[in-house]
Copies of this chain bind each other. A is one copy, B any other.
Amino acid sequence: MLKRLKNTALLLTATSLPFTLFSSQLPAATAADTAGALKAAVNQHIADHGGEILGDFRELLAMPNVSTSLPDMQKNAQWISRYIGERGFSSRIVRAGGAPYILAERKTPGATRTVLIYAHFDGQPVEPADWKTPPFEPTLKDAAATLDWEKALKQGIDPEWRVYARSAGDDKAPVIALMHAIDAMDAAGLEASVNVKLILDGEEEFGSPTVEQILEEHADELSADILLFCDGPMHQSGLRQLVFGVRGDIGVNLTLYGPSRPLHSGHYGNWAPHPTDALMRLLATMKDMDGNIQVAGYLDEVTPVSEAEQVAIAAIPSVDAQLQDELALGRVEGAGERIEMTIMRPAINIVGFQAGGVDDQARNIILSKARASLDLRLVPAQTIDHVKQTLEEHFKSQGFYVTYEEPSEEVLRNNPGVIKVDWTEGYPAYRSDLNGEAARKLTAILTKYDGEKPLISPTLGGSLPIHLFDQALDMPIVLLPIANHDNNQHGRDENMRVGNLFSAIGVYAAVLEGFGRN
């Protein structure tokens, strides 16, 4: 662990956060002003322990966490168990054949309500060559340059700094922020009004294949009044949001076959078909230039966006123009619809296409195989079975023989096109009631803390296996994202803005302080 830095002076800079976390004049707490007292406690804690917070985050991020490596995930789980144990959490690491999960609880004397918090501590696979700095060597940067951790933290912390590492944005920050929220409240003598339970997932980026069994086996000990899903990015406007749904997700790996051995593209080019050509043509039939899905029957189950959802979206400030500029996009899909509406629809993403080397690695051959991976985002009412069936039917309608295994030469000879389809585990979408009790309560807590109402988003574009929690646990489920929207989650150079990490401490403190009160 990093040397803990005490009394770190906060560097004063302009911040784009629409609430005041960083102030040289820490307001005095009054009994009548819980929001003020809480904010003062959090600000004082950050002022005193900013370097320690970042040091803890750094240490957690330095542990590789691709879910397929069980030893790595065990190491992460043990670190977290110890870390939360220091804040009075009893915990255990459980498995159901996959990566580990952590179940934990911290009781508050006299509390009658319980908040269950979900986060995950695994990360997407990495391609280190694509990263500016190694994905598991957390790197602190300001807008201009890489900073020396020790020196920078001694000088004072700028909320605009960012920490670069896999899982910085998705999703190792909540456990750090939540523990420091508890530290801040403890230091100021402020009590939580709720019991806190945790379920920390070690295999979310692989679709949480064993979460269903985990939930089934541990449903009793996970009982609570609300499940807060702490994952995903904040709204692109930088405003706080509560999110009431996620898209579902399923992946499919496709292999399309060419000649049984690679051929010289000179001697055979014009005669032996390239599997790359056929795969491109096939994939291009799935949607039009605006992203509208063209697969027959694929959308049959989709229900229209409700009145309440339309109203909620209309209340969100539009970020399309800002985003299009920020991302240097010369055009967007959706035919003029705002982004919040486009993610209410299913999406077919061609996330991977591998067929021969390029540039210096280009070889003049006709390949035996071309491969692609699709990421299919689903909306409520869409079922996995229907999605699979209609997509496979589409491939057949385009002249392909569809197989689930490596085809024999006989099969290849007898069909003008053969495609192998390898589905990953998937899960459906989830949306909860925008106007339920939990929604109103959380909205009130955040409004009181921030001084303005949070945005109410019907769905994240991204996916979480929330439907399983909904099936297994009898409680409302709401998402409370904390990461900056531009955290590059899943990609190279993933990062967390320091100001976002710090602001999460206040948000969690507000929930712990407020949710148990009437």
Interface positions of A (Cβ within 8 A of B): 68, 124-125, 127, 232-233, 246-247, 249, 251, 253, 258-274, 276-277, 280-281, 283-284, 287, 289, 291, 324-334, 339, 342-343, 345-367, 370-373, 375, 377, 409, 412-418, 422, 460-463, 485-486, 488-493
Are A269 and B347 CB-contacts (below 8 A) given A124-B364, A327-B259, A416-B330?
A: yes
Chain B residue at minimum C-beta to C-beta distance from A287: B277
| Docked pose: A139 CA to B258 CA in angstroms | 26
| Docked pose: A283 CA to B333 CA in angstroms | 20
Q: Closest approach, in angstroms, between the C-beta of A371 and any C-beta of chain B?
A: 4
**B363 with A351: CB separation less than 8 A:** yes
| Docked pose: A391 CA to B367 CA in angstroms | 23
In order of increasing CB-CB distance, the 5 nearest A-B pairs are A262-B491, A266-B462, A362-B373, A269-B347, A267-B461
Q: Give every chain B residue within 8 A of A365 (Cβ-Cβ).
A: 351, 490-491
Q: Closest approach, in angstroms, between the C-beta of A65 and any C-beta of chain B?
A: 14
Q: Give every chain B residue within 8 A of A329 (Cβ-Cβ).
A: 258-260, 272-273, 412-413
Q: Closest approach, in angstroms, between the C-beta of A141 and any C-beta of chain B?
A: 14
Chain B residue at minimum C-beta to C-beta distance from A266: B462
Q: Closest approach, in angstroms, between the C-beta of A34 and any C-beta of chain B?
A: 34
**B268 with A339: CB separation less than 8 A:** yes
Q: Closest approach, in angstroms, between the C-beta of A285 and any C-beta of chain B?
A: 10
| Docked pose: A280 CA to B280 CA in angstroms | 5
**B291 with A350: CB separation less than 8 A:** no
**B284 with A361: CB separation less than 8 A:** no
A347, A351, A359, A418: most-surrounded residue (chain B CB, <10 A): A351
**B357 with A355: CB separation less than 8 A:** no
Q: Give every chain B residue within 8 A of A485 (Cβ-Cβ).
A: 267
**A488 with B270: CB separation less than 8 A:** no
Q: Give every chain B residue within 8 A of A249 (Cβ-Cβ).
A: 266, 364
| Docked pose: A461 CA to B104 CA in angstroms | 67
**B490 with A357: CB separation less than 8 A:** no
Q: Closest approach, in angstroms, between the C-beta of A249 and any C-beta of chain B?
A: 7
| Docked pose: A361 CA to B206 CA in angstroms | 11
| Docked pose: A262 CA to B345 CA in angstroms | 21
| Docked pose: A111 CA to B260 CA in angstroms | 48
| Docked pose: A283 CA to B355 CA in angstroms | 14
7 intermolecular pairs with C-beta atoms under 8 Å apart: A261-B491, A267-B460, A270-B334, A271-B334, A273-B329, A274-B350, A352-B362
Chain B residue at minimum C-beta to C-beta distance from A236: B267
How many copies the complex holds: the figure is 2
Q: Give every chain B residue within 8 A of A345 (Cβ-Cβ).
A: 270
A253 contact from B258, B342, B351, B359, Cβ within 8 A: B359
Chain B residue at minimum C-beta to C-beta distance from A248: B266
**A332 with B490: CB separation less than 8 A:** no
**B327 with A272: CB separation less than 8 A:** yes
Chain B residue at minimum C-beta to C-beta distance from A486: B261
**B271 with A360: CB separation less than 8 A:** no
Q: Give every chain B residue within 8 A of A232 (Cβ-Cβ).
A: 267
A260 contact from B327, B373, B417, Cβ within 8 A: B327
| Docked pose: A333 CA to B486 CA in angstroms | 46
Q: Closest approach, in angstroms, between the C-beta of A368 and any C-beta of chain B?
A: 8
Q: Give every chain B residue within 8 A of A366 (Cβ-Cβ).
A: 349, 351
A263 contact from B264, B342, B367, B491, Cβ within 8 A: B491
Chain B residue at minimum C-beta to C-beta distance from A253: B359
Chain B residue at minimum C-beta to C-beta distance from A246: B266
**A355 with B356: CB separation less than 8 A:** no
**B272 with A333: CB separation less than 8 A:** yes
| Docked pose: A351 CA to B259 CA in angstroms | 14
| Docked pose: A359 CA to B247 CA in angstroms | 21
| Docked pose: A326 CA to B333 CA in angstroms | 44
Chain B residue at minimum C-beta to C-beta distance from A286: B277
| Docked pose: A488 CA to B342 CA in angstroms | 47
Q: Give every chain B residue within 8 A of A342 (Cβ-Cβ).
A: 270-271
Q: Closest approach, in angstroms, between the C-beta of A171 and any C-beta of chain B?
A: 12
Q: Give every chain B residue within 8 A of A125 (Cβ-Cβ).
A: 357, 360-361, 363
Q: Give every chain B residue within 8 A of A359 (Cβ-Cβ).
A: 253, 352, 371, 373, 422
Q: Closest approach, in angstroms, between the C-beta of A20 and any C-beta of chain B?
A: 27
Q: Beyond the given A125-B360, A270-B334, A329-B412, could you list 17 further A-B residue pairs with CB under 8 A, ordered by the A residue number?
A: A261-B493, A262-B491, A262-B492, A263-B327, A265-B347, A266-B460, A266-B463, A269-B377, A269-B461, A270-B333, A271-B339, A272-B332, A273-B333, A331-B416, A351-B356, A352-B358, A365-B490
| Docked pose: A233 CA to B232 CA in angstroms | 56
Q: Give every chain B residue within 8 A of A334 (Cβ-Cβ).
A: 270-271
Q: Closest approach, in angstroms, between the C-beta of A457 and any C-beta of chain B?
A: 11
Q: Give every chain B residue within 8 A of A348 (Cβ-Cβ).
A: 269
